[in-house]
Amino acid sequence: MTKAEKVQFVINTLEDLYPETPIPLDHKDPYTLLIAVLMSAQSTDARVNTITPLLFEKADNPYDMVKLSVDEIRDIIKPVGLSPMKSKGIYGLSKILIEKHNGEVPADMEALEALPAVGHKTASVVMSQAFDIPAFPVDTHIHRLMYRWNLSNGKNVVQTEKDAKRLFPEELWNKLHLQIIYYGREYSPARGWKLENDIITRTVGRKSVIDDYLQKKA
């Protein structure tokens, strides 16, 4: 298979498996999505979805959020982990949104990345999922699978994002990054991975990854 054929196989398989791609984090607007994505760092979407309703009940917009103290925010979001940093970030970015953006989340990569506790991946998720602007946020699943599928060298997420954007058509990015995440969780996890269940890696995967798996199994 040529590289182009492999890429097309990935696209077709993911589209067959995941024709619909609901956004994993519960939210109702760009602000609540931004907060949910920020909270999801080194946590699970499922856990975040149990905590955000408690936070949003008290504050689901920047104006109400800054009425809470950093400590009050931290107490609510503690179960998602990294709460000292995340609570400061939530309070700080809410303040900046009021001061600089009329309380609105900007649909601009640079402006998003300038907000406290908002990195490139968080900004990419918000651009893609809140504003439908093409972006390719790379999480651990995408980073792992792009390496397994021999579509990126796995050196770092920056390189993985560049490779994904180069290989996949721009109009598919927003849906495709979610499809890859769903596939990674279901068929190609980091732990307890079974090549037998993973049709994409079985078909287009990196030879060394497949050989290593078969060797361990032998």
pLDDT in tens, the chain (218 residues): 999 999 999 999 999 999 999 999 999 999 999 999 999 999 999 999 999 999 999 999 999 999 999 999 999 999 999 999 999 999 999 999 999 999 999 999 999 999 999 999 999 999 999 999 999 999 999 999 999 999 999 899 999 999 999 999 999 999 999 999 999 999 999 999 999 999 999 999 999 999 999 999 88
pTM (2 d.p.):
0.93
Is 108 considered catalytic here? no
Tell which residue, 65, 118, 151, has the closest CA to residue 127. Answer: 118
Active-site residue identified among 121, 175, 194, 207: 121
Decide if 6 is catalytic: no
Q: How many CB atoms lie within 10 A of CB 208?
A: 9
Q: Tokens standing for 139?
A: 């999480």
Which residue among the candidates 6, 139, 163, 198 is catalytic per the annotation?
139
CA 172 centroid distance within chain: 15
